[in-house]
Structure 1
Amino acid sequence: MPAVQRSAPLQPQDLALTIAGTHIREPGERVWSGGFVQLLKEFGFSTEASRAALARLVQRNLLEREMDGRRALYTLTEHAVELLTRGDDRIFSFGRPETTGDVWTILWHAIPEGRRAERTRFATGLRFLGFGSVQDATWFAAHDREAAVTELATSLNLIDHISLFVGRMSDQVPPGLLVREAWDLAAVDDRYTRFVDDYGHLRRAGERRALSPKDAFVTRTLMLHQFRGFPFVDPELPAAVGGRPQLRKRVVALFDVVYAGLADAANAHFHEVAQPAFSRAAPAA
């Protein structure tokens, strides 16, 4: 049976985008809507919720719907591919290599009250980059994030509303107080421990082979969904300032082995359910 997902509650839109981003990233790749709905149902979503999620992704310019005869198909938009590519760059570099904490980035912003939507998106992007905040407008990261923050602020047209500093912390005054105020490291450890509990047995090739293609697909998707949440909560601190690099390293290594090890079976299930021969007759969906 697939591992149980126990982090943030699954949302059908997020899950649909994760599935599409994993399996139909190449130009011209398409997925049959009825098969896409069936895949979402394997995670416990109703037909109605699944169809509503796909429609919403079309409205958000993340999926494009087209017809092939009587069959409705979905492809990723260019906008979605750009977002997914940036996300993958962060997710699949997370924890590699280990940070030294020698360089920190400090950000202060004064985003106008009338731009709350952009401010929310900016805050989400900062957390994804490993920032924590001690006040609404003051953020810290234990890395050189100058280029990433500049790109994020520019994309949201906020570059004129931020100030950015890159440098080292004092050698005489350790950043312990700052770390405690900005991040809940105990909660991060708990999430890592649950991840190892859920997927640790799948380090063994025999355990992976014992999964059916369907269970391999569900497990691999849920694991990616959980792993992609770690950059939002773990600032990747070195041990010298309270981080747990060895636990992070264990989780990253586990993810790499299992994600790659389940790929063939998961891909086979996806293609069987969501990419049947498009020339074959099928009811409209």
Structure 2
Amino acid sequence: MSAAVTPPDGGAAGSPVRPETAALALFGDHVLDRRVAVSTGGVVAALGRLGVSEAAARTALSRMGRRGLLRTVRQGRQAFLGLTEHGTAVLHDGQRKLDGEVVDRDWDGRWTLLTFSVPESRRADRHALRTRLGWFGFGPLRSGLWVSTSDADVSATLAELDLLEHAEVFRAEASRWTDPARIAAEAWDLPAIAAGYENFLRRWADGGVEHLGELSRRILLGAEWLLLIRRDPVLPSVLLPQGWPGTPAAALFHTLRHEWARQAEEQAADVLESIVDR
């Protein structure tokens, strides 16, 4: 499958992935839980193989540093990048998503209902809460009412944003005339999520961007998958349309990710100089 080498938005190999997302995938594969820091130049070179310009790569890495995800480790005149505690937690969370299912096979029929009211003076906190609720699999049903089919505990997020006193949570079942499938269709844009999976299947069905090496392919594959599952609340099959494309897409993702693992590791060793990060 052909792809533009250097997209105008600084993305990676014609994909919807931005440099920061590709860098996160790279650190998740080759830095997380390894107690190493990798050379800045090596990371820039690895992203360069995806068509990301040096300027775009360094801007993305600087942004990740400002967000508290990365820290600089110096050895002589050379700069290496290691994960912060926050960065490690973020990547562990993402790794759980990457390794997880796209269909909930253990749903007990109950919903988590979260209602909140945040003062207008705290608009930024309200926006941050909505963003994180989406990551936890919640969808907006009514104004100030979000629902999830999982028993996700968002108390830590609420406490971090100092919003515990502004929110209430309930566990409940649909009753009377309430159709759970209709609730799911209202709370989440299922056609858009399905279209994302269908595009993924078309893009990667033949192995994806054939002109790239396994390291680059695996970075892109993981980054694109992370973008998809960020939007997916992982619903039970009884709430999903027939022929849900997330299932074959997940099978393809895991197959390719495993297939390219060994060669990607060898190529990473060539491009990413590393030091022990204490």
Query: How high is the TM-score relative to the length of structure 1?
Result: 0.82
Structure 2 alignment gaps of length 5 or more: 5-11
Task: State the alpha-carbon separation in 2 of the partners of residues 26 and 10 from structure 1.
Answer: 24
Task: State the alpha-carbon separation in 2 of the partners of residues 2 and 23 from structure 1.
Answer: 27
Question: Which of 168, 181, 184 is equivalent to 2:186?
Answer: 181
Aligned residue number for residue 84 of structure 2: 77
Contact 1:130 1:141 in 2 (8 A): yes
* CA deviation after TM superposition for structure 1 residue 108, in Å: 0.7
Task: State the alpha-carbon separation in 2 of the partners of residues 18 and 100 from structure 1.
Answer: 30
* CA deviation after TM superposition for structure 1 residue 13, in Å: 2.2
* CA deviation after TM superposition for structure 1 residue 133, in Å: 0.7
Aligned residue number for residue 170 of structure 1: 175
1:83-162 aligned within 5 A: 83-95=90-102, 97-100=104-107, 102-145=109-152, 147=153, 149-162=154-167
Contact 2:105 2:237 in 1 (8 A): no
Instruction: Check 1:239–1:57 CA distance in 2 against 1; reply closer, same or farther (3 A cut).
Output: closer
Task: State the alpha-carbon separation in 2 of the partners of residues 27 and 240 from structure 1.
Answer: 40
Task: State the alpha-carbon separation in 1 of the partners of residues 239 and 274 from structure 2.
Answer: 52
**How many positions carry a matched residue from both structures?**
269
Contact 1:174 1:241 in 2 (8 A): no
Aligned residue number for residue 8 of structure 2: none
Contact 1:192 1:251 in 2 (8 A): yes
Q: Deviations over 1:199-249 (max 9, x none)?
A: 2334xxxx99xx68x521122111111211233322333343344575322
Structure 1 alignment gaps of length 5 or more: 279-285
Task: State the alpha-carbon separation in 2 of the partners of residues 276 and 106 from structure 1.
Answer: 46
Question: Which of 257, 264, 270 is equivalent to 2:255?
Answer: 257
**Partner SS, residue 105 of structure 1:** strand
Contact 2:13 2:50 in 1 (8 A): no
Instruction: Check 1:7–1:230 CA distance in 2 against 1; reply closer, same or farther (3 A cut).
Output: farther
* CA deviation after TM superposition for structure 1 residue 127, in Å: 1.0
In angstroms, what is the RMSD of aligned CA positions? 2.9
Question: Which of 42, 45, 50 is equivalent to 1:35?
Answer: 42
**Partner SS, residue 114 of structure 2:** strand
**Partner SS, residue 222 of structure 2:** helix
* CA deviation after TM superposition for structure 1 residue 168, in Å: 1.2
Q: Deviations over 1:23-55 (max 9, x none)?
A: 111253111111111112222221112112212
Contact 1:239 1:245 in 2 (8 A): no
Task: State the alpha-carbon separation in 2 of the partners of residues 165 and 75 from structure 1.
Answer: 40
Aligned residue number for residue 239 of structure 2: 241
Q: Which has the higher helix share?
A: 1
Instruction: Check 1:269–1:142 CA distance in 2 against 1; reply closer, same or farther (3 A cut).
Output: same
Contact 1:104 1:167 in 2 (8 A): yes
Task: State the alpha-carbon separation in 2 of the partners of residues 25 and 240 from structure 1.
Answer: 36
Query: How high is the TM-score relative to the length of structure 2?
Result: 0.84
Task: State the alpha-carbon separation in 2 of the partners of residues 19 and 2 from structure 1.
Answer: 22
Aligned residue number for residue 74 of structure 2: 67
Task: State the alpha-carbon separation in 2 of the partners of residues 28 and 73 from structure 1.
Answer: 13
Contact 2:104 2:234 in 1 (8 A): no
Contact 2:102 2:234 in 1 (8 A): yes
